Structure 1
Amino acid sequence: MFRYIWQYLFTSFLRFWLKWFLRQITGKCELQRICNGYRQGAPRTSRTEYSLESSKSKTLKASISVEENQVEECVLTIMKEKKVVPQKDPTFKMSLQVCLLQITGYKRLYTSVEDLRKEPFDCENNRHENMLLKLWDLLVPSVKLESRITKQWGDIGFQGDDPKTDFRGMGMLGLTNLLFFSEKYTDVARQVLSHSVHPKLGYSYAIVGINLTEMAYSLLKSGALKPHFYNTVSQSPKLEDFHQLYCYLAYEFDKFWIEEKPESIMEFNRYREKFHDKMKDLLEEPDVSLCMTVDCKL
C-alpha cells in the first residue's frame, strides 16, 4: 500500500518539482539528461518512453504514437517546446529520434503481428497452401507427401491429417514463424525436428512451434520484449525481427527440453512455463539481446 501511495505522490507532485530543480541546476530538460546520461538501447529508450508517457505536455505524450515518417518533424517540435538549442546539444536530436523510432516502431510491430495472428489459415488461398507445402519440403525434402490431407503431417508434429486445424489459435502467424525458421535456418530446423522424434525426449515439433509463437506473441503484447528490441534493433523493429526472435525461442527451447530431460511429453506444460519464466528473467536484464548463436556442431 505504501508503495502505491509513494508512486502516486511522486508522479503527481514530486516528479514535477524534481524535474524543475534539475533543469535549474543542469540547464537541461529531462529528455536531454536521459539522452546524455544513458547509453543507446534499452536503458535510454525505456527512460525516454517513461518520460514522454508521464509528461503533462500533449505534444510529448502524442509523440510515442506518431508514424515513422513523422518522427523527425516530431523531434523538432519537441526541441522547440523544450527550448533545446542544437548548437549547445548537437547529439540530442539524433538520440531522441532513434528513441522515438524504436518506441513507435514497437507499437506498429505489435499491430503487424496481431494482424497476422488474426488472419486464419485458408486452404482455398494458394499462398497459404504453398507456404504449408513449402514447410514440408524444407523439413523433409527426401519424402514426398502422399496427398494434401494425410497422416504424414504427424511426422513433423501436427496433430491430425490436416494441419489447418492446428493454426486456429495463432492463425497465419504460427505458419509464418515455422516457415521462417525453416527457410532462414534450414539445417538447424531439421536438427531440431530430429530431436523432436527422439524415442524418450520427443515432442510434437509443429505443435510446440505454434505454442512458442503464442509465447512470443504474449511477450510482445505485454511489452516484455521492449528491452530486447531496443537493444538489438537500432531503429523501428519490423516483422522479420519478430520472426528472428521466434527462431531464438525455437532453438533455445529445444536445447532446454533436452537438457531438462522430462519424463514424458505429458510434462510439457510445466516445462513450457519454466522456459517462459527463464525468458522473462532474461528480459529483465538491461543489456538483454535474445539473438541466436548456433552451435557449430550442427
Structure 2
Amino acid sequence: MIVHLWKYLYKNIFRFWLKWILRQLTGKCELQRICDGSRINAERTLKIEYSLEASKYKTLQNAVNAAEDEVQKCVALIIQEKKINIQKDTRFASKLQLCLLQISGCRKLFLAVEELRKHPYNSDNKEHEEQLMELWSLLMPHEKLKARITKQWCDIGFQGDDPKTDFRGMGMLGLTNLLYFSKHYPREARQILARSNNPKLGYSYAIVGINLTEMAYSLLRNGLLKTHFYNLVPGVPQLKDFHQFYCYLAYEFDKFWFEEKPESIMYFNQYREKFHENVKRCLLDYDTVLALKNEKQ
C-alpha cells in the first residue's frame, strides 16, 4: 500500500516539481538531460521511453506508438511542444530520433512475432510441411525420413509420431525458431541434439526448443528484451534479431543444463525457471547484449 502511494505521489506530484526545478537550473527539459547524460545504449532509450510515457503532454505520449515513417514528424512536434532551442542543442533531434526508431521498432517486432505465434501449424499447408521436412534434413542429414507420420520424429525430440501437435502453444513461431537455429548454426544444433540424447542428462530437443521459444516470447512481451535490442540494433530491430536471441537461449540452456546436472528430466520446470531468472537478471543490466559469440549471419 505504501509503495503504491509513493509511486502515485512521485508520478503525479513530486516528479513534476523535480522536473520543473531541474529545467530552471539547467535550461533543459528532461528529454534533453537524458540525451546529454546517458550513453548511446539501452539506458538512454529506456529512460526516453519512460519519460515520454509519463509525460502529461499527448504529443509526447503518442510518440512511443509512432510508426517508423512518423518518427521524424514526432521529433519536430516534441521540439515544438517543449520549446527546445535546437540551435543551442544541435544533436538533440538526431539522438531523440534514434531512440524513437528503436522504440517503434521493438513494438513493430512484437507484432511480427505475435503474428507468427498466432499462426497455427497446418499439415495441409505445403510451405509448413516443407519447413518441417527441412528441419529434419538439417538435423538428421544422414538419415532419411521413412514417412510423414513416424516415430522417427522422437529422434529429434518431438513427443509423438506427428510433430504438428507439439506446435500448438507457439504456432509457427516454434518451428521458425527451430529451423532458423538449424540453418544458421547447423554444427551447434546437431551437437546439442546429440547431447540431448545423453542417457543420463538427456532431454527432448524439439520440445525444449519450443519451450525456449515461449521464454523468448514472454521476455519480448513483458519488455525485458528491450535492453538487448536497444544495445544490439542502432535503429529498428528485425525478426531475424529475435531468432538470433532464440539461438542464444538454445545454446546457453544446453550448457546450463549440463553444468547443473539435474537428477532427472522431471526437474525440468525447476531448472528452466532458474535459467529464466538468470536471463532476466542479465537483462536488467543496461549494457547487456545476449548473443552467440562469432555469430554467422
Question: If the TM-score is normalised by the length of the shorter chain, which range does it land in?
Answer: over 0.9
User: Who is 2:41 aligned against?
Assistant: 41
Residue 13 of structure 1 and its aligned partner are, at CA, apart by 1.0
C-alpha separation in 1, matches of 2:284 and 2:22: 28
Q: Report the counterpart of residue 239 of structure 1 in structure 2.
A: 239
Bigger Cα displacement from structure 2, 97-106 vs 249-258:
97-106
1:25 & 1:277 partners in 2: Cα distance?
A: 41
CA distance in structure 2 between the partners assigned to 1:184 and 1:80 by the alignment: 46
Is 1:181 matched up with 2:181?
A: yes
**C-alpha separation between the residues in 1 aligned to 2:96 and 2:163?**
46
Matched, 1:22 2:22: yes
SS in structure 1 at match of 2:64: helix
Distance 1:103 1:154 in 2: 41
Q: Which residue of the partner structure matches residue 153 of structure 1?
A: 153
Aligned equivalents of 1:11, 1:261: Cα separation in 2: 46
Moved more, 1-10 or 265-274: 1-10
Q: Shift of residue 111 of structure 1?
A: 1.0
- 1:79 and 2:79 are equivalent in the alignment: yes
Query: What amino acid maps onto 2:147 in structure 1?
Result: S
> What are the superposed Cα offsets for residues 249-269 of structure 1, whole Å, 9 maximum, x if unpaired?
000000000111111211111
Q: Structure 2: how far apart are the matches of 1:82 and 1:277?
A: 40
Aligned counterpart, 1:213: 213
Please give the alpha-carbon distance, in whole angstroms, between the structure 2 residues aligned to 1:202 and 1:3: 45
How far is the alpha carbon of 1:73 from its aligned partner?
Answer: 1.3
Q: Which residue of 2 aligns with 1:58?
A: 58
Secondary structure of the corresponding residue to residue 65 of structure 1: coil
1:283 aligns with 2:287: no
5 Å-filtered alignment, 1:64-213, equals: 64-213=64-213
AA paired with 1:147?
A
**Matched residue type, 1:99:** C
For residues 74 and 162 of structure 2, the distance between their equivalents in structure 1, rounded to whole angstroms, comes to 49
CA–CA distance in 2 between the matches of 1:114 and 1:285? Answer: 26
Q: Deviations over 1:9-42 (max 9, x none)?
A: 1111111111111111111111000011101121
Structure 1 segments unaligned to the other structure (5+ residues): none
Amino acid at match of 1:95: K
In the alignment, the residues of structure 2 paired with residue 271 and residue 3 of structure 1 have an alpha-carbon distance, to the nearest angstrom, of 32
CA shift at 1:232, angstroms?
Answer: 1.1
Give the structure 2 partner of residue 251 of structure 1: 251
* Aligned residues: CA RMSD: 1.1
TM-score computed with the length of structure 1 as normaliser: 0.97
TM-score, normalization: structure 2?
0.97
**Per-residue deviation, residues 56-83 of structure 1 (Å, max 9, x unmatched):** 1010000000110111111111111112
Letter in 2 for 1:90: T
Partner AA of 1:26 in structure 2: T
What amino acid does structure 1 have at the position aligned with 2:18? L
Q: CA deviation at 1:91?
A: 1.1
Amino acid of the residue matched to residue 119 of structure 1?
H
Tell me the distance in 2 between the aligned counterparts of 1:116 and 1:240: 13
Specify every segment of 5 or more residues in structure 2 that has no aligned partner in the other structure, as ranges.
none
SS at match of 2:43: helix
Distance 1:142 1:62 in 2: 54
Q: Per-residue CA shift, 1:239-286, capped at 9, x if unaligned?
A: 111101100000000000011111121111111111111111111112
Displacement of 1:8 after TM fit? 1.1
How far does residue 106 in structure 1 lie from its aligned partner after superposition? 1.2
- Provide the aligned length of Structure 1 versus Structure 2: 295
Q: Give the distance between the partners of 1:242 and 1:17, measured in 2 at CA.
A: 40
Counterpart of 2:242, as a letter, is: F
Q: C-alpha separation between the residues in 2 aligned to 1:16 and 1:270? A: 44
The 2-side partners of 1:112 and 1:281 are apart by: 26
CA-CA distance at 1:294 after TM superposition: 6.0
1:2, CA displacement in angstroms? 2.5
Q: Secondary structure at the match of 1:227?
A: helix
